[in-house]
Structure 1
Amino acid sequence: MPQVRHWLRNPLIVFALAITLGLVAAHTSLLQPDELRLDRALQNDTRIGWLNTVMLGVSNIVSPVGGLVILSLWCGWLLLRRHHPVDALSTFLVVAVGWNSSEIAKLIIARNRPPAVYSLDPETGSNSFPSGHVAFTVSAAIAAYFLARGTRWQWPTALGGAAAVALIAFSRLYIGAHYPIDVLGSVLVSASAIVCLTGVWHAWLLPRLHLVPFLDRFGPLGPPVAAGRGADDEVPAAATQDAQESLPRGAAESQMSQPLTP
C-alpha cells in the first residue's frame, strides 16, 4: 500500500464534495431531470434482448453476495497459496473500506432510485447514491493496482481496472438502477476513503501487525516499522544504501542474512 501525502485533508475535501453533489442531486431539481433524460436516452438507444441478459449478468457478478465471494477467494489465495499475509490483509482492508464507505454515503444522502418502471431489475431496500456495485469495483481495482505497483503488471492492471469500473458503471445505468451522478459519486467516495486508509495503514496498522495472533504463521510480516512514523515520512533509498555501505563488509553481509522478524 503506497504512502500518500496529505492522506487526511485531501480525502476529507473530496468526500465532502461528493456528499454535497449527492445532496444537490437528491434533494433539488437542479440535476435529476437531466440525469433521468440521460438514463432514458442511453436505455432507448442501446437496450436489446441479448445485451439485457449480458448487462444483468455483469451487474450480478459484483452484487453484495458476488463481491463477498470474490473478496474471500482473493484474500484466501494471497494468504494460503501465496503466503503473503500483509498483502492479504491490506487487500481486504482496501476493498472493505472503499466498499462500505458507499453505504455510509447512502445513509447520508438517502436518494431514491430511478423510477422502477424503467428498470430491468427493480431494487428495493437501498438508496441510489452512490452505487455499491461501482464502489466495490473501484475498490477492487485500486487494491489490484496496489499489489501490482512496481511490477510489469502495473499499467495493464490500471487499465484493466479502469475498464472494469467503466463496464460496471455502464451496466448500472443500462439496467436503470442508478442515475449518472450515482456512479460518479462511487468513484469519489471510495477513492477518498481508500486514500485515508493508506495513512492509517502506515501510521498505525503496519507497525502493529506483529501483534495480530497467528498472522505470522501464514508468511513473513516484513521488518518492523517504527511506531510513530507517519504516512508523510519517507526513508530515502540513498540513505538506506549509505547506511549499509558504512558497515564493515562482514557486518553488512551478516545483517542481510538475518531472517525477518515479525
Structure 2
Amino acid sequence: MPYVRHWLRNSVLLFATAIVLGLIAAHTQLIQPHDLDLDRTIQTNTRTGWLNTTMKLVSYCASPVAGVIILAVWCGWLLFLRRRPITACATFLVVAVGWNSTQIAKAIVARNRPPREFSLDPEIGSNSFPSGHTAFTVAVAVAVYFLFRNSRHRRTVAVLGVLAVLLVAFSRMYIGAHYPTDTFGSVLVAGSAIFFVTGVWHAWLLPNLDRLPLLHRFGLEEERAELEAAQGHGYGAPVPGPGRRRTGAAPASGGGRHRRR
C-alpha cells in the first residue's frame, strides 16, 4: 500500500465534498431534476431485452453478497495460498473500508432512491446516495492497482479499473437504482476512505502486524524480509518491524516501490 502525504487532509476534504454534494442533490432542486432527467434518458434510449439481463448481471457482480464472496476468496488466496499476510491485510482494508464507508454517507445524506416504477430491480434499502455497488468497484480497482503499481501492467490495470467503475455506475443508473450523482459521490466517498486507510496503515497498523501471532504462521516474517530485500535494491523505504524505528522515509507494503506523492 503506498504512502500518501497529507492523507488526513485529503480524506476529510474528499468526504466533506461528497457530503455537500449529496445534501444538495437530496434536499434542494439544484441537481435533482437533472439527475432524474439523465436517468430517464438512459433508460428510455438504451433499454432492451438482452441489455437488461447484462446490466442486472453486472450489478449483481458488485452486490453485497458477491462483494463479500469476492473479498473473502481474494484475501484467502493471498493469505493461505500465496502466503502473503501483509498484502492480504492491506487488500482487505482497502476494499472493506472503501466499500463500507458509503454507509456513513448514506446515513448523513438520507436521499430517497429514484421512483420505483422505473426500476428493473427494486432495491430493499431506501438510501440512494452514494452507490455502494460503485464504491465496491472503486475500492477493488484501487486495491488491484496497488498490487500492480510497480509492474509494467500498471497502466493497463488502471484503465481496466476505470472502465469497470464506469460500467457498474452505468448499470446502477440503467436499472433505476441510483442517480448519476450517487455514482459520482461513491467515487469521492470511497476515495476519501482509502486515503484514510493508507495513512492509518503506515502510522499504526503495519508496524503492529507482528502483534498478531496468527500472521506469523502464514509467512509474515518471510514477506517482510522479501520487502526489505526489494527495498534494499532501490524499490522503496524500510518496512518497520518489531522494535524498529521508522526512518524519515515512508514505509511500503505489498511489495515493490512506493513514492511520496
TM-score (norm 2): 0.86
Cα distance in 2 between the residues matched to 1:131 and 1:125: 11
Unpaired runs of 5+ residues, structure 1, are: 237-262
- TM-aligned CA deviation for residue 126 of structure 1: 3.6
- TM-aligned CA deviation for residue 45 of structure 1: 0.6
Contact 2:78 2:84 in 1 (8 A): yes
- TM-aligned CA deviation for residue 71 of structure 1: 0.4
- The answer to whether 1:234 aligns with 2:254 is no
- TM-aligned CA deviation for residue 208 of structure 1: 0.6
Structure 1's consecutive aligned runs of 4 or more residues displaced over 4 angstroms after TM superposition are 226-230
Contact 2:39 2:179 in 1 (8 A): yes
Cα distance in 2 between the residues matched to 1:133 and 1:34: 22
**Residue equivalent to 2:115:** 115
Contact 1:134 1:168 in 2 (8 A): yes
**Residue equivalent to 1:185:** 185
- The answer to whether 1:41 aligns with 2:56 is no
Question: Which amino acid is the alignment partner of residue 222 of structure 1?
Answer: R
Cα distance in 2 between the residues matched to 1:49 and 1:189: 33
- The answer to whether 1:21 aligns with 2:21 is yes
Q: Secondary structure at the match of 2:213?
A: coil
**Residue equivalent to 2:240:** 225
Give 1:56-67 correspondences, 5 Å limit: 56-67=56-67
Structure 1 pair 133/150, CA: closer, same or farther in 2 (3 Å)? same
- TM-aligned CA deviation for residue 153 of structure 1: 2.0
Contact 1:148 1:157 in 2 (8 A): yes
Name whichever of 216-225 and 24-33 sits farther off.
216-225
Give 1:68-79 correspondences, 5 Å limit: 68-79=68-79
Question: Which amino acid is the alignment partner of residue 14 of structure 1?
Answer: L
- The answer to whether 1:88 aligns with 2:121 is no
Question: Which amino acid is the alignment partner of residue 125 of structure 1?
Answer: G
Cα distance in 1 between the residues matched to 2:189 and 2:18: 6
CA shift digits 1:170-219 (9 cap, x unpaired): 00000010000000000000011101110110110111111112102111
Cα distance in 1 between the residues matched to 2:250 and 2:50: 55
Cα distance in 1 between the residues matched to 2:122 and 2:217: 46
CA shift digits 1:31-63 (9 cap, x unpaired): 101110010011111000110000001100110
Cα distance in 1 between the residues matched to 2:250 and 2:18: 34
Identity of aligned residues (%): 61
Contact 2:173 2:180 in 1 (8 A): yes
Cα distance in 1 between the residues matched to 2:66 and 2:24: 31
Question: Which amino acid is the alignment partner of residue 234 of structure 1?
Answer: A
Structure 1 pair 235/96, CA: closer, same or farther in 2 (3 Å)? closer
**Residue equivalent to 2:196:** 196
TM-score (norm 1): 0.86
Larger Rg: 1
Unpaired runs of 5+ residues, structure 2, are: 226-238, 252-261
- TM-aligned CA deviation for residue 228 of structure 1: 7.1
Question: Which amino acid is the alignment partner of residue 13 of structure 1?
Answer: L
Cα distance in 2 between the residues matched to 1:217 and 1:153: 31
Cα distance in 1 between the residues matched to 2:214 and 2:162: 36
**Residue equivalent to 2:165:** 165
